[in-house]
Structure 1
Amino acid sequence: MELNFSGRVVEWRGPSPYYFVPVPDEESADIRELAAMVTYGWGVIPVEAQIGEVVFRTSLFPRDNGYLLPLKAAVRKQSGLAAGDDATVKMTVSLH
């Protein structure tokens, strides 16, 4: 399943900061339809994502009936993204 969306980079402040792009409601609903077939534990969903020219693999985190796309420091640096920036994402849900 391939999805394209845009979202604002948000920072979650915990013991160490994490950065995410929230997956919009419509795309999250599409992912939920496949979730039982693709999750490998506690609801995380493996994906390949692309922001600009940067392609990376990660797992979506379930949150409030939707999903968050985590952005590692290397991805943010290569993409030039910081909290509050808008990101356009091309994402493929990995089907085992």
Structure 2
Amino acid sequence: MAASTYSFTAELWEWEAQAAWHFVSLPEGVADEIEERYGHSAAGFGSIKVKVSVGTSHWSTSIFPDGKRGTYVLPMKKAVRVAEGLTVGDPVEIELRVI
């Protein structure tokens, strides 16, 4: 199956826990399409491998299903947040490619 690329803007948020994890939630339509096309091949915890671009930052990671939010969430590592000047509540322009 060919890789699929998605472009969207989503708000940066912080997970309410001891560790300061930051995420963006995928828009419902994007999440639904990814689930339909790739959900059957998900790895541990339902993760799906992706390559991500935000501004001039590019990295590989995984998206994870979040039952509470009803979508996939994308972790935003600190190095990217710092490099791109992102803080909680900021809109983030994302290009995501399922690999």
Same fold (TM over 0.5): yes
Match of residue 53 from structure 2: 50
Once the two structures are aligned, what percentage of the paired residues are identical? 31
Cα shift at 1:10: 0.5
Match of residue 73 from structure 2: 68
Unaligned 5+ segments in structure 2 are none
TM-score by length of 1: 0.92
User: In structure 2, what residue type is equivalent to 1:78?
Assistant: A
- RMSD (Å) for aligned C-alpha atoms: 0.9
Unaligned 5+ segments in structure 1 are none
Match of residue 10 from structure 1: 13
Match of residue 39 from structure 2: 35
Structure 1 runs (4+) greater than 4 angstroms displaced: none
Q: How many angstroms apart in 1 are the aligned matches of 2:49 and 2:19?
A: 22
Q: How many angstroms apart in 1 are the aligned matches of 2:30 and 2:19?
A: 28
Q: How many angstroms apart in 2 are the aligned matches of 1:13 and 1:81?
A: 18
Q: How many angstroms apart in 2 are the aligned matches of 1:82 and 1:57?
A: 21
